[in-house]
Amino acid sequence: MKLRDKVAIVTGGAQGIGRAIVEGLAAEGASVVIADLQGADGPAKALRGQGRRALEVDCDVSDEAQVAAMAEAAMRSFGGIDILVNNAGIYSSLVPKPFEDITVQEWRRMMDVNTLGVFLSCRAVVGSMRARGGGRIININSGTPFKGVPFLLHYVASKGAITGITRGLAKELGPSNILVNGVAPGFTLSEGVKANPVQLEKLSEVSVKARSLARDQFPEDVVGAVTFLAGPESAFITGQTLVVDGGAYFN
């Protein structure tokens, strides 16, 4: 229960990696705000049924007003915000294709959700974190910018930007005792990915073969890194990105 009395927001927390993170933070005692486009009520009700404190919020992280409302709901319900996990993003629906086939609309939507959404969410919570004497921001990144994965250029670019945001904010928010780190999973068999036959065909087997630990990766594999970075053991770590991919990439 190392996160007892802490309040955490997880964007994109209704399913996949986000839901696994929500459950992991709640298991450590945190009150959790599950923010997602839809479907957040199910996980929240399940946690409340277990005696946990959980709140569901409908939120499009690319919408400034909705992100502000998300933060306000957390403060109103739980008194403040200590932890933000920026997990919401576009990935599982993607079909790999040459970069010249990516439309301007697809590029802008990717940046709006994966990059602007992180900026807006950080900006919305930082005031409460400062008022509480500090906080933790954990950005769910990807191993793709480190490895230079082809045929997903808009996604790779958006996640590469998250590395820069993590480092820049770590410097800027350090004096406020707000730690900013990233977790970069490898190809993960979430519900969304398993529903995408093209990704499974093109990426699953090659991802397993590239790993030192030659098995599939699941959402639960990411949870330990997140709870570590949210907890007291990581109090002197900031600006880092921890790659969690079974040893496919050594950072």
Which residues are catalytically annotated? 155
The residues, any chain, with a CB within 8 Å of residue 168's CB and separated by 6 or more, are none
Closest C-alpha to 25, from 57, 56, 47, 42: 47
Taking the C-alpha atoms of residue 241 and residue 250, their distance in angstroms, rounded to an integer, is 12
For residue 197, what are its two tokens? 């036959």
Please identify which residue in the block is written with the tokens 């459950």.
23
Rg of the chain taking only CA atoms, in angstroms? 17
Burial track 151-188 (b if 16+ CB lie within 10 A, e otherwise): bbbbbbbbbbbbbebbbebbeebeeeebbbbbbbbbbb
For residue 218, what are its two tokens? 């699941």
Using an 8 Å Cβ cutoff, are 117 and 61 in contact? Answer: yes
